[in-house]
Structure 1
Amino acid sequence: MTIADWCVFASVMLYLATIAPIKWLGFRSFDNANPRDPAFYSEPLRARALGAHQNGIEAFPFFAVAVLLAEFRGSPQNLVNELAVLFLIVRIAYVFTYLGDRPTLRSILWGIGFVINVGIFFLPMIRSSVPV
């Protein structure tokens, strides 16, 4: 498996790790029979953790497809790996800014992550002009 493949796995773990501690810390008020109860997420930190978690779920498919497409179409693996690691670093920072209630920085990081994804997605198209 490549570094980029591990980054795909890590991005799944990241969005799970975003919400799991919130549920664990609030285990007395978290009802597993009703895990989407809006009352549990009424506290600001819990609401932000849920938002970061949901955004991680939304960002994952494009990232996974972009990495797989780039790898299957013969893009320079070192570049795919570097961009995937960079995406993961940006996503980690994104989660921290989401939890820390920094909406402007969070939006900037989201945009950077999206641009990285677009770059990975289009690597097969430009692979002949990218140095290996």
Structure 2
Amino acid sequence: MSTLYPNFPLLSLPIAAGLAYAPHFIKALIVVNATKRWNNNLSLVRFTDIRAYILVNPRGQIERVESKLSASAAAMAKRAESAHSNGMETLPIFYGAVLAALHAGISRDFVTYYSGMFLVTRAMYNVIYILNTDRITALARSTVWGAGIYSCMRLFLAAASTKRY
């Protein structure tokens, strides 16, 4: 893969950001599909009140429309929101790992492999988390998350063990 995309490790950074934001948009699709409406704050306030309302509680979207959603749609939207939050929490770890490995001069093939592994695990994590309804699937989600964090730690350890410094 490194010959096809020689800068894949750097390309993986915006791809990872896209994977972190994907559940946010999936949540929006769930809400729109269930309520058949959309506005930027998903509330029932007058237009003149929107700016103040968004500033007061911009992250309370699910709570504001939960009564209009079926129980399964509300649960799925909450899981999508949680997957998005987790993606945002792991993004700096991944960015740091890739940039540290590249800065330390670790081989492109090595960095490509582990950055690719992270992207695959993030995509799997999102799907598993959003569709999860039982403990077995939750265990699979945690295992996939662990594999993604492992790929980051592998990059950090490779960077830390270089003789370059």
| TM-score, scaled relative to structure 1 | 0.86
Shift of 1:22: 2.0
1:98 aligns with 2:129: yes
Tell me how far apart the structure 2 counterparts of residues 114 and 40 of structure 1 sit (CA, whole Å).
34
Which amino acid in 2 is paired with 1:99? Answer: I
Where does the alignment leave 5 or more consecutive residues of structure 1 unmatched? none
What residue in structure 2 maps to residue 36 of structure 1? 59
Higher Cα radius of gyration: 2
Q: Equivalent residue for 1:59?
A: 90
Give unmatched runs, 5+ long, in structure 2: 1-5, 42-53, 67-73
Provide the C-alpha distance between the structure 1 equivalents of 2:16 and 2:87, rounded to a whole number of angstroms: 8
In the TM superposition, residue 39 of structure 1 has moved relative to its aligned partner by: 1.0
User: CA distance change for structure 1 residues 25 and 96 in 2, over 3 Å: closer, same or farther?
Assistant: closer
Partner AA of 1:4 in structure 2: P
Q: Which runs of 4+ in 1 moved over 6 A?
A: none
C-alpha RMSD over aligned residues: 2.0
Give distance in 2, aligned partners of 1:106 and 1:29.
Answer: 30
Percent identity between the two aligned chains:
26
1:78 corresponds to which of 109, 114, 127? 109
Aligned twin of 1:45:
76
Matches of 1:10 and 1:40, distance apart in 2: 31
Q: Does 1:9 align with 2:44?
A: no
Kept in 1: contact 2:104–2:162 (CA 8 A): no
Is 1:109 aligned with 2:144? yes
CA drift of 1:30 comes to 5.9
How has the CA–CA distance of structure 1 residues 74 and 41 changed in structure 2, closer, same or farther, with 3 Å as cutoff?
Answer: farther
